[in-house]
Amino acid sequence: MPVSSGTNAALLAGGVIGGGRYRLLAKSGTDDRSHAELWRARDGQLNRDVALTIMLGDLSDTEAAGRARRTVERAMHAASFTHPGVSRVIDVLTPGNGIQPGEGILGMVVAEWTQGTDLMDLIAEGPLPAGAATRLLEPLGAAIEGAHHAGLVLGADHPQRIRVTSDGRLRLAFPGPRPDAIARDDVKGLGAILYLLLTGRWALPGGPTDIQPAPTGPDGSVVAPSTLHPYLPHELSSVAVRSLEDTSVGGIRTSAAILQVLDQIAAEEAETALIPAVSKDADDDVVWTTQRPVQNKEQRKKLLISVGVLALATLGVIVWLAVQIVGFFSDEPSKGGGPTVVIGQTVPSGQSSAEAPTPAGPAQPASIGVYDVTNQPDNQRDANRAVDNNGNTFWRTDNYFQPFPAMKPGIGLMASFAEPARLASITITSPSKGTKVEIRVASAADAPLEETKVIASAELSAGQTQIQLGDYEPTQHVLIWITQLSNKGTGENQSEIREILYTRAQ
């Protein structure tokens, strides 16, 4: 029997629609923005499962009927586009053309069924690791990019329209873009899905009622995923947020920009995966055997060479220890240097160097905060740990897979003092060797970067680095601006500051 309840059908599993052709099996979701329900159904004529996007409404509602008709037309145009990241549109139905009067249906898009699982089920137990989220999202991002090049909009901006294939790819399983949807909505949808995978929160309006919305800041902008989960790569977190922002304030315009970051992180994951795992052969379980060992001359030769190399290395270690012991009891200072590296003032070209001022004692800032020109500060809540006189606490940057200035020109800590002061030196304790910093002075804590003035620069060592400052006008605001992060050698760029000591000049 057809499902019918006048002008607004109440679709139920087991019911039959579309002139008796499609039997409803299970509901996958609801897109309230389109007044659409998403169903898995059985095509009785071709004996196969299909995905139905069913738009409900009253035929007498001219506006609603027009919107449904436009959605069906756009889905029909997209039927020519084929990509593994999009379910193929098989058919479209309209009232009088496959949809019977009384079914309360304004339009229907029929697509091939996507085997796998719902996206919502995938994140039911919590957010995914960055690498897994990247691998899942790439095929969908490639599909959106291809569709936009073909002049099409897919409507991939609702989580219940997306399914996860059995081989681990995200796929638009229920095509049918809203009548007013534009390519930018697909980009926002891609960013929102990435945000969902990383946080378990939905960042666009009109999402499912059973999923938590993304948190927002005082200005109404969505909080970055790395703020919720600091272990996430900064690029991935940043691209998720920027995909949602207005393009007039730095938002991402195209899916190609998102794919670039996804490809970068995927490449890093692939390099890590090349490290072979330690395998355990069956012979490892043998603890006793009566067989005589096989005499292998090649193996014996390699063994003798290995023993010789080991003996030389051991001798080298003994000699080094002897030198260290002699040096320890010697009256001469060690040539290796202590843990503190003193760096003289480095002045930008065009400025004259002045005699270093005499230190008068420590200066404690009244406040300190993360200075970020992209409005996405790294670990803002930990900034005060850099001046808490506790070497066991620290502030660190986010983890960047691409060094500055790929995603941002730099990051810094802005210290504000109770009254204008002139510093003789700044000592930075950090384990992040190779970090490059500039010491800048500013007229205000939120002054634009181009209005700050560089008074010194240095490259940090692993330990304490004392940066001597020259003569400059007293100021209340001093910025430690990081222009180069420490590279861990694994494609990760991150710097950590354990303590900052400001020394006042006389």
Burial class (CB in 10 A: 0-12, 13-18, 19+), 434: middle
Query: Which comes out higher in pLDDT, residue 54 or 335?
Result: 54
Q: Taking all residues of the chain, what is their mean pLDDT, rounded to a whole number?
A: 82
CB distance 51 to 112 below 8 Å:
yes
Token couple for 214? 């993304």
Beta bridge partners of 164: 117, 170
In the sheet that holds 367-371, the strands lie side by side as 367-371, 411-421, 475-484, 436-442, 453-459
Q: For position 287, what pLDDT does the model report?
A: 39
Longest dimension (CA), the chain: 102
- List the domain boundaries for the chain: 16-113, 118-273, 340-505
pLDDT over 50 (residue 79): yes
Mapping DSSP to helix (H, G, I), strand (E, B) and coil, where does residue 495 land?
coil
Mapping DSSP to helix (H, G, I), strand (E, B) and coil, where does residue 220 land?
coil
pLDDT over 80 (residue 355): no
Which residues have CB under 8 Å from 339's CB, separation 6+? Answer: 463, 464
Q: For residues 20-31, give the mean pLDDT.
A: 94
User: Among the listed ranges 45-49, 236-240, 260-264, 467-471, which one has the minimum average pLDDT value?
Assistant: 260-264
Give the pLDDT band of residue 56 (cuts 50, 70, 90): very high
H-run or E-run covering 473: none
Query: Which comes out higher in pLDDT, residue 37 or 360?
Result: 37
Please, which contacts does 245-251 make with residues 24 or more away whose CB atoms are closer than 8 Å? 245/221, 247/184, 250/374
Give the pLDDT band of residue 404 (cuts 50, 70, 90): confident
Sign of the dihedral through C-alpha 69, 75, 78, 79: negative
Q: For position 460, what pLDDT does the model report?
A: 95
Of all residues in the chain, what percent carry a pLDDT higher than 70?
79
Q: Angle at which helices 183-199 and 234-244 pack, to 10 degrees? A: 140
Question: pLDDT tens across 332-352, in order?
Answer: 433 333 455 666 555 444 444
CB distance 55 to 65 below 8 Å:
no
Instruction: Tell which residue, 230, 196, 203, 205, has the closest CA to residue 217.
Output: 203
Query: What does 118-144 look like in DSSP terms, one character per residue?
Result: EHHHHTTT-PPPHHHHHHHHHHHHHHH
How far, in whole angstroms, is CA 357 from its chain's centroid?
44
Q: For residues 191-197, give the mean pLDDT.
A: 96
CB distance 41 to 50 below 8 Å:
yes
Q: Which residue has the tokens 């900052």?
A: 500
Q: For position 311, what pLDDT does the model report?
A: 62
Which residues have CB under 8 Å from 455's CB, separation 6+? Answer: 345, 347, 439, 440, 441, 469, 470, 472
CB distance 90 to 111 below 8 Å:
yes
User: Among the listed ranges 114-128, 275-289, 382-396, 453-467, which one has the minimum average pLDDT value?
Assistant: 275-289
Give the pLDDT band of residue 80 (cuts 50, 70, 90): confident
Round to whole Å and give the CA distance between 114 and 90: 13
Query: Which comes out higher in pLDDT, residue 73 or 102?
Result: 73
Q: For position 271, what pLDDT does the model report?
A: 57
Question: pLDDT tens across 242-297, in order?
Answer: 899 876 556 788 888 888 888 877 776 655 544 444 444 434 444 334 344 455 55
**What are the helix (H) ranges across 110-216?**
119-122, 130-149, 183-199
Of all residues in the chain, what percent carry a pLDDT higher than 90?
52
Q: For position 11, what pLDDT does the model report?
A: 86
How far, in whole angstroms, is CA 251 from its chain's centroid?
15
pLDDT over 60 (residue 235): yes
Q: For residues 29-54, give the mean pLDDT.
A: 94
Q: Which residue has the tokens 């029997």?
A: 1
pLDDT over 70 (residue 182): yes
Mapping DSSP to helix (H, G, I), strand (E, B) and coil, where does residue 306 land?
helix
Q: For position 299, what pLDDT does the model report?
A: 56
Round to whole Å and give the CA distance between 5 and 102: 7
Q: For position 187, what pLDDT does the model report?
A: 94
Q: For position 315, what pLDDT does the model report?
A: 66
Q: Which fold has domain 340-505?
A: Jelly Rolls (2.60.120)
Give the pLDDT band of residue 10 (cuts 50, 70, 90): low
Fold: same for 118-273 and 340-505: no
Pick the CATH number of 16-113 from 1.10.10.60, 3.40.50.2300, 3.30.200.20, 3.40.50.150: 3.30.200.20
Round to whole Å and give the CA distance between 143 and 150: 11
**Class assignment of domain 118-273?**
mainly alpha
